[in-house]
């Protein structure tokens, strides 16, 4: 079961890389847009995050529910921004920067809490 948990965690990191990569690829662009990579990365994070929590419950390991709730809330905001602005030719800088900042915040919550 530890191997499965490790593989799901790797997929979770790939989702994270998708969000960060989708934001960073727009760094120097004059007109920024939301890549499909951002939305797919967020969906990957959601599915694998739920799976990781489920595996912790299945293995009878402790789960920090407030931390998971906060991370889920941040991810929902990221997904909402990506969904609303996904088909626009250009997005406001605050949307692009907000997705990046919220992703870094989610990393901070995961590591520091």
Number of structural domains found in the chain: 1
pTM for the model = 0.92
Within 10 Å of residue 11's Cβ, how many Cβ atoms?
Answer: 16
Q: Tell me the per-residue pLDDT of 57-85, one tens digit each, with 9 for 90 and over.
A: 999 999 999 999 999 999 999 999 999 99
Range of the domain at 14: 2-112
What average pLDDT does the structure give for the chain? 95
d(Cα 9, Cα 54) in Å, to the nearest integer?
12
Given a contact cutoff of 8 angstroms between Cβ atoms, the answer to whether 63 and 9 are in contact is no
């Amino acid at each position: 079961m530890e191997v499965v948990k490790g593989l799901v965690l790797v997929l979770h990191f790939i989702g994270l890389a998708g969000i960060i990569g989708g934001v960073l690829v727009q760094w120097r662009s004059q007109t920024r847009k939301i890549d499909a990579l951002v939305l797919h990365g967020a969906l990957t994070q959601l599915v694998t995050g739920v799976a990781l929590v489920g595996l912790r419950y299945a293995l009878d390991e402790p789960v920090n529910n407030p931390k998971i709730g906060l991370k889920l809330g941040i991810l929902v905001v990221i997904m909402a921004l990506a969904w609303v602005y996904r088909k626009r030719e250009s997005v406001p800088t605050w949307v692009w920067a907000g997705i990046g900042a919220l992703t870094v915040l989610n990393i901070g919550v995961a590591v520091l809490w």
